[in-house]
Structure 1
Amino acid sequence: MANDEYGSRPRRRRKAYLIIALGAAGLLGLLAVLYVSGAPGGGTASLGPKNYSTHVECEVNTTGSQGTVTISGTITGNATRYAVTVEVSDAASHQRIGLQTFEVRGTNTFGGTTAAQAPIGPAGIECKITKVA
């Protein structure tokens, strides 16, 4: 009976339903990845690239070999929050004397003070933004 042509045929509908179910699951997975990555049509852009412009200024106050650096800056861009890291260095030796990270949320300004960790030379200080996330 193994070679009987009149027996029941294999059901192809089960294969079709399986292929459709796998395709739908793959499509849902792709949409979930696009949603999280912030692609057009997605709901969030927090994981994507951020466009921004920044400005930072620093002022040092010293007493002997100790001092503090007052940092103030602005950031504007397409995100609602940033983490801005500012490095303060001696202008002549380029030795880092301070480093501070600011969490910027709901505003475009940041600022604060940090201790100067080394004597500051006569050339003054330099401030630069080393990281924006």
Structure 2
Amino acid sequence: MADDDYGPRRRPRWKTFLFIALGSAGLLGLLAVLYLTGAQKGSAQSSLGPKSYSTHVECQVNTTGSKSTVTISGTITGNATRYSVTVEVLDAASRQRIGLQTFEVQGTNAFRGTTAAQAPIGHGGIECKITKVA
């Protein structure tokens, strides 16, 4: 025991740090792969995957006296069985929002509804656009 000045021989510290670094990198890599493949815990939407769709919308304004209503009709086709489509109605001249309606589309690809115009409609008419599909 003449060579043993400080007790049993210790492992070099760089090996410990190397094991910790490789283990951490492997764990982060696994989490990245799970995230990219959509296997997140507690997220129902990620398991559904992205929705691919094609839409078309038309609007027609009906004015009686000082009150106006907007009839919205449209279609959506895609790879999902259910969609939530939000349509915004704008005054074409001022670009002011005059109506907003959300449609729940399920079992068909068509949606239709009527909404009251929330502001007077200018001479330029109206413009409809789909602002959200979920």
Task: Note whether the superposition's TM-score is higher than 0.5.
Answer: yes
Instruction: Give the aligned partner of residue 107 of structure 1.
Output: 108
| 2:50 alignment partner, SS class | coil
Which letter does structure 2 place at the counterpart of 1:50?
K
Give me the identity figure in percent: 81
Instruction: Give the aligned partner of residue 57 of structure 2.
Output: 56
Once structures 1 and 2 are overlaid, which stretch shifts more, 61-70 or 115-124? Answer: 61-70
1:63 Cα deviation from its structure 2 partner = 1.8
Distance 1:64 1:89 in 2: 20
Aligned residues: 97
Which letter does structure 2 place at the counterpart of 1:126?
E
Distance 1:128 1:64 in 2: 26
Q: Is the 8 A contact 1:83 1:103 kept in 2?
A: yes
Instruction: Give the aligned partner of residue 121 of structure 1.
Output: 122
Q: Is the 8 A contact 1:58 1:70 kept in 2?
A: yes
Instruction: Give yes or no for the alignment of 1:72 onto 2:68.
Output: no
Distance 1:89 1:65 in 2: 17
Q: Is the 8 A contact 1:87 1:99 kept in 2?
A: yes
Structure 1 length-normalised TM: 0.67
1:49 Cα deviation from its structure 2 partner = 1.0
Q: Is the 8 A contact 1:71 1:111 kept in 2?
A: yes
Structure 2 length-normalised TM: 0.66
Which letter does structure 2 place at the counterpart of 1:62?
T
Distance 1:54 1:77 in 2: 9
What is the root-mean-square deviation of aligned Cα atoms in Å?
2.2
Q: Is the 8 A contact 1:65 1:120 kept in 2?
A: no
1:34 Cα deviation from its structure 2 partner = 6.8
Structure 1 runs (4+) deviating above 2 angstroms are 33-38
Which letter does structure 2 place at the counterpart of 1:104?
V
User: Which 5+ residue runs of structure 2 have no aligned equivalent?
Assistant: 1-33
